[in-house]
Structure 1
């Protein structure tokens, strides 16, 4: 089977399954919010801690990752400037930069480049979630504080920043990452009584997240959001890899490391963005439509980028 199709097919099937469940009314709209909380507050921390608890930062080469994040910085900051500083713009900025690197990226890179490609990919994993989700959390918390100040609940700017920093660290995303990285540096291993439940919870994250996307997608009005979804998908699927390739060229990178970064940048919008939109109750329908459309378009766009990767 074509490597792009084999990597994307499970994602499409799980999203479609969620949409079918919603159409059959096996899960109602009220339950979707509760399931979203379960994924965000329980499954996400388990996945993050389990993944990051085995990372030895000193053994990783971050040079190819620099090209990736130069492009991320341009797109993230550009989205905030274009849309204004708000919860909505922060979620949209995350949508244009955060890809489905776990479920699609791993099998795709493994099929295309094997072990050398996976080493580069796992180096990106080390900072991808830490940087993007933590940055998004901080921006969102600052936006929440700004909205509160506009509503007459003003506080000193320093107090606002400190409160936002506290809220962004004492959060279901950054907190397990920081705790796991600290644990990893001790050289210890998790005891089976802890490691096995974490493994089971982490394994449930991806299917549950994608089914949730499908559940919400079934109630999303495509006639209203298709233009916005197409714009976000174009930035994520095409502009992001183009900017990564340009950044890599400027940094003098070539070969497998740069090719892996460019292909990973072309991956569709990740389900974590949907969870953030649900968590902060902003742009939910638009993000849901964008995740679905970005994944469908990736059947063509990822194949295109993958075919051009050997030229890097």
Structure 2
């Protein structure tokens, strides 16, 4: 129980299990899942993202290591998207293979295993994680959704530039980028958040992880896991094995060593973050598959993250 991987992942597994039991007992009906998803996505996520970004000072961030992390994630996302054939469903699945649970699992895991110095780099990554990956995924999803919607109508085809413009507008005026941009802009004023504002935002933000994971469990209680198990295992393998392997290779070739490379590889090895589940719910794409993948990747990570953490020191010497 004292192993950092077990200590970090077990609470996540238990929260999903609470959701499964709650769903099986019909304490939360399936009809309420969409409303709870909106609560998490449109309220709790907003508070978490704005508060996180409101204390980020761009001049203090070391962009070199984390920019490589995002380059690897974006490359893997693009390859997964192209292999499946560009579609909004494929974009959600590609996000599953690249978006890590860096907050609920990453912070306690890295803190317990590597100490305070390692957390500095992880916090830099976390401060940009949603901004870069979720905004990137949102733009892609909106572009693909616009193309699919246009193809379903028999009227004259919309001009490509107009489609791009509308997709970019929808991606910016969106529940994910807006609080990130607002928080980042506010941070540059140097004013800080008054306690009367900061405290409620903190409480709402802290509720995001537990409520989102319980919601995963509720959805899981009614999902066809058997039908999606093969796909969930494949996505979990990409997320917890291929993603960290690519990060390790790219980092090593770029000259990263020591704690910097270790933290980025461990971050890449983490299971799928709950934000991907919320994206699948919002766009109503691959919902059962993504729900199963979040749960399966969390269970698989008990083995794969331990393996990654064991092999890294041997490989780096």
Hey, what's the Cα distance between the residues in 2 that align with 1:175 and 1:78?
27
Q: Which residue does the alignment assign to 2:168?
A: 165
In structure 2, list runs of 5 or more residues that go unmatched. Answer: none
> Which residue of the partner structure matches residue 123 of structure 1?
124
1:187 aligned partner: 190
Are the counterparts in 1 of residues 236 and 296 from structure 2 also a CA contact under 8 Å?
yes
State whether residues 268 and 298 of structure 1, in contact with CA within 8 Å, keep that contact through their aligned partners in structure 2.
yes
Residues 111-160 of structure 1, C-alpha deviation per residue, up to 9 Å, x if partnerless?
Answer: 11111100110111122111110011111111111011101253111111
- 3-state secondary structure, aligned to 1:215: helix
Secondary structure at the aligned position of 1:131 is classed as: helix
Give how far 1:44 is off.
Answer: 0.5
Is residue 276 of structure 2 the alignment partner of residue 276 of structure 1? no
CA contact (8 A) 1:130 1:177 kept: yes
Across the two proteins, how many residue pairs are aligned to each other?
Answer: 312
TM-score normalised by structure 1 residue count: 0.98
Indicate the larger mover: 146-155 or 5-14.
Answer: 146-155
Contact 1:70/1:244, CA 8 A, preserved across alignment:
no
Q: Distance in 2 between matches of 1:85 and 1:267?
A: 25
- 1:161-240 correspondence to structure 2 within 5 Å: 161-240=164-243
Partner of 1:9: 10
* Cα offsets for 1:58-92 (capped at 9, x unmatched): 11112221331232122101011111111101101
Normalising by structure 2, we get a TM-score of 0.97
- Match for residue 87 of structure 1? 88
Q: Tell me which of 247, 257, 270 is aligned to 1:254.
A: 257
Q: Does 1:135 align with 2:136?
A: yes
Instruction: Please name the residue that 2:20 is paired with.
Output: 19
1: CA distance, partners of 2:261 / 2:305: 15
Q: CA deviation at 1:309?
A: 2.4
Q: Distance in 1 between matches of 2:257 and 2:146?
A: 43
Contact 2:70/2:133 (<8 A) preserved = no
Contact 1:52 1:126 in 2 (8 A): yes
